[in-house]
Structure 1
Amino acid sequence: MILSKDTFRSNGNFNYKNIQKLKQEINKLDLGIKLSDDLDVFKKTITIDGHIIPNSLATHPMEGGDSDEKGSPTELTYRKYKKIARGGSGLIWLEAVSICKEGRSNDKQLWITEDNWRDFKKLNDLIKKSAKEEFGEGFEPKTIIQLNHSGRYCKVNGKRNPIIATHKRVLDEAIGISEDYPLVTDEYLDNLIAKYIEAARLSKKAGFDGVDIKACHGYLLSEILSAYDRKGKYGGSFENRTKLIRDIVHKIKTDKECKGLLLSSRLNIYDAVPYPDGWGVSKTEDIEIDLEEPKKLIRLLANDGVKLISITMGNPYFIPHINKPYDMGNYIPDEKVIFSCNRLIKEVGEIQKSIPEVSIVGVGYSWFRQFAHYVGAGSLKEGLCSIVGFGRESIAYSDFARDILQNGEMKLNKVCIACSKCSEMKAKIGTCGCVVRDSKIYLPMYKEMKSSEVSTNE
């Protein structure tokens, strides 16, 4: 439930002095967040379709916006993933990679093509080599490459170039899409299937263990899931709205060149905008969660071979605290931050318990800072997820997994502080990283961005 601003305001900076204070808050608010100090749960291996993930920790995709003009990784990309690989996570889930030029979120988003797949192979090889150098020949993290079309959030030459499947009033207004803006045709959507297949084939050639058919955060495949008002074969009924993602998955699953790929999806289960603009939202109550259709879709995807799903919610361009709880900056959430975390952990747990045949990657942990591993361990112990994933944490604190697994701690002076400057950079200039923990590289970029804003406003 989204609480009104009159009910709660953000509780300010993270202020739990010790784990007992956090426990007291959880009990006081009667939340479903679980805590455990049994950190051995993170050492459990996960086997999915013959792929062995060496521990139960994952880095979630965080789009860096640091490619060259052709979509290839640059030194910043290689640097980021080398650090992550040396951090010890068993599952490394790479950021969004576009399947086509017009589908990029900005001109610096990664984009895999026939001309540059060897650059992606170099990236994957670097990840595998770096992990082995750090932890021994027997340690090999699994790599998932996230395939995406940015839909209404596409940009070309720095300017918005929305490709929308349906009008959504609140989202249209937020980025200035008029009522008569044309919808993408069924023919265009039909042709995307081949582009996803080609991107998956190239990912396999580049050595990645799996592909993620991304359907979250308001991007194109996510938007189609709630295309209730769209005419034609991709709108209206549940079968029509889920047809495109199911067809893509089925085609990749049965494609000979994609054989052996671990199929996965980063999937929204709740958009947090009212029906008919939102997916996973009650049709009768105001923005209440309704998981009937998301569960139905996950079961269908599982039947077609998708046995690994990273659950998420919301839309970072519109209501960022839903999927990325944070407590600093000008944006003030409509609720206490811990409620946002609780929603993510609780509803992911509902999916995992309802569909145990799928390995679900849990989210909502980074905000807990130096106590995040206790929250993650609690989720694993209670069966609320199969793998604990960290997004922002992975760019702020790339070796969090090593510290959890080897030292039983997350260090206060290394954790993400939930300032969301990384997201601010992503939204405004495309390129992003951790301004606080990786300040040598990213603080100058941030300062230049802020200076440009001042100059523009003067």
Structure 2
Amino acid sequence: MPSLLAEPLTLPCGAILPNRLSKAAMTEGLADVYGHATGDLDRLYLAWSDGGAGMLLSGNIQIDGDHLERPGNVIIDREPDDDTKRALSHWASAATRNGNHFWAQLSHAGRQTQKLVNPHPKAPSAVKVGLPGGQFGQPVALTEEEILNLIGRFGTAARICKEVGFTGVQIHAAHGYLLSQFLSPRSNQRNDRWGGSLENRARMLLFIVNTVRTVVGPNFPISVKLNSADFQRGGFDFEDSLQVAKWLEQAGVDLLEISGGSYEQPKMMDMEGMEEAAPQNVAASTLAREAYFVDFAKAMRAEIKMPLMVTGGFRSRLAMEQAVRQGAADVIGLGRPLCYFPEGPKRLLGGMEMLPRKENELKLFPPSLQFLTRIKALKAIDGFACQFWYYSQIYALGRTGRPAPDRTVFQAMREVEATQKRWMKERRAALGK
């Protein structure tokens, strides 16, 4: 019997995804110093298009070049010239060569902009990221005029992406980036129409959705990535998320991706402690299963009808099919495994039972020293070291078309840090900063 994962999905706008698997959004770091798409991105997405997923999501495409999630982001913060458009078009063409969708994830890092990119990033309020190490600077609160300008930039970027061949867009309102910062009462302490009540805190996101719909038209897919919760006391919680999801459904969003966490509480990478924040109507079995956010999605499904995408931890075909069968997810997002096993979707659709798992091998501290990760700062370093290994696999896929699974965590850390520093140095020189 054919897998449920092979069934097409018709979105509310009328677009059809050829199957239920999506390459999740993962930051690439392969743009040139001007933020333009490159041949490395083409090569990377050729591999992922050949991999068999019905939809590919890009990594963060930033709508403000001064607020990057990391060095090497693609940037669309103004009307592009012909060369820039051609580069974007080549990327979109490579990413869709097997008839799959390719959606642009549009984002602004806000206060989660690294200090080496911007020492004083703009944010809803002047509330600094609560992490040790000085990686993030003191933010400056956005003015009304700046907020309206950013709403327009999201619309412009969406229009350009449609023009050059992307088949949809996703607005990133999760993981502690700017729109997630607006939603959270911990980071949004404004007392104007953009802060205070949930309705006010969600206003920027809803204005952006409406602006994007206006410029791309009724038949172009619009997705939003939303936290199920921030997993922080006094932050954006599940009931808030459910209400925002209802508003997004009313606004005509075609696919809602459920995620969670931020840099301060990186639950999208490590779900320990999730039970402390889980709402009462979500089963504790989430913790024991590989699909981190399935039960949050099931709780949402009871209240909303729009298609849902769930990303986080999936490895077995059985768990993916179960999530679809139970109605918890219409689309399954696959991330880390596709960095070193890009053909994963095709293999799953062909009957493979389980994607390979590497996380347990990728530890900065050996088993004899894992007790050190009880210290919050060291735990974060260990987690980011693992993340850098995946970055290095993306570099390898982009540069050679093949992963480099034998690369060590230490080698990956050195490579990523050197690459990012070099990129920033060259960008400052190119822009005369």
Report the TM-score, using the length of structure 2 for normalisation: 0.78
SS in 2 for 1:389: strand
Q: CA deviation at 1:377?
A: 1.0
1:59-110 alpha-carbon deviations (Å, 9 max, x no partner)? 1001011110111222332222111100111111111100121121233111
- Of 197, 200, 207, 2:165 maps to 207
Aligned pairs for 1:31-180 (under 5 A) are 40-48=3-11, 49-112=13-76, 113=78, 114-115=80-81, 116-129=84-97, 131=98, 140-155=99-114, 158=117, 160-168=119-127, 171-174=129-132, 176=134
- Is contact 1:153–1:161 with CA below 8 Å preserved after alignment? no
Does structure 1 retain, via aligned residues, the 8 Å contact 2:67–2:121?
no
Question: Partner residue of 2:377?
Answer: none
- Report deviation, 1:341: 4.4
Residue of structure 2 equivalent to 1:188: 146
Alignment deviations for residues 209-240 of structure 1 (CA, whole Å, 9 cap, x no partner): 11111101100000000145322121001121
SS in 1 for 2:350: helix
Residues 250/377 of structure 1: CA separation in 2 closer, same or farther (3 Å cut): same
The question of whether the paired residues in 1 share the 8 Å contact of 2:388 and 2:412 is answered with no
Q: For the aligned residues, what is the CA RMSD?
A: 3.4
Paired position in structure 2 for 1:383: 327
For residue 172 of structure 1, report the CA deviation from its aligned partner: 3.2
Q: Deviations over 1:325-370 (max 9, x none)?
A: 48xxxxxx45799448465221122112321x2110112334xx4x
Aligned to 1:7: none
How far off its partner does 1:122 sit?
0.7
State the shift of 1:56 in Å. 0.8
Q: 1:229 aligns to what? A: 189
For 1:3, the equivalent position in structure 2 comes to none
Question: How do 1:277-292 residues align onto structure 2 when only pairs under 5 Å count?
Answer: 278-280=235-237, 291-292=238-239
Contact 2:114/2:137, CA 8 A, preserved across alignment: no
Counterpart check, 1:250 vs 2:210? yes
Aligned residues: 379
Aligned to 2:265: 319
Q: Where do 5+ consecutive residues of structure 2 fail to align?
A: 276-285, 364-381, 419-433
Give the partner amino acid of 1:267.
Answer: L
AA aligned to 2:293 is: L
The answer to whether the 8 Å contact 1:46/1:55 transfers is yes
CA distance in 1, matches of 2:144, 2:172: 19
**Unaligned runs of at least 5 residues, structure 1:** 1-37, 132-139, 281-290, 327-332
SS at match of 1:433: helix
* TM-score computed with the length of structure 1 as normaliser: 0.74
Q: Report how far residue 260 of structure 1 moved.
A: 3.1
**Residues 418, 168 of structure 1: CA spacing in aligned structure 2 closer, same or farther, 3 A cutoff?**
farther
Match of 1:267 in 2: 226
Q: 1:300, CA displacement in angstroms?
A: 1.3
CA distance change for structure 1 residues 298 and 340 in 2, over 3 Å: closer, same or farther?
same
**What residue number does 1:350 align with?**
299
Paired with 2:24 and 2:403, the residues of 1 have a C-alpha distance of 21
**2:176 corresponds to which letter in structure 1?**
G
**Distance change >3 Å, CA 420–CA 204, structure 1 → 2:** farther
- Quickly say closer, same or farther: Cα 1:245–1:452, change in 2 above 3 A: closer
Q: Percent identity?
A: 23
CA distance in 1 between counterparts of 2:416 and 2:155 reads 40
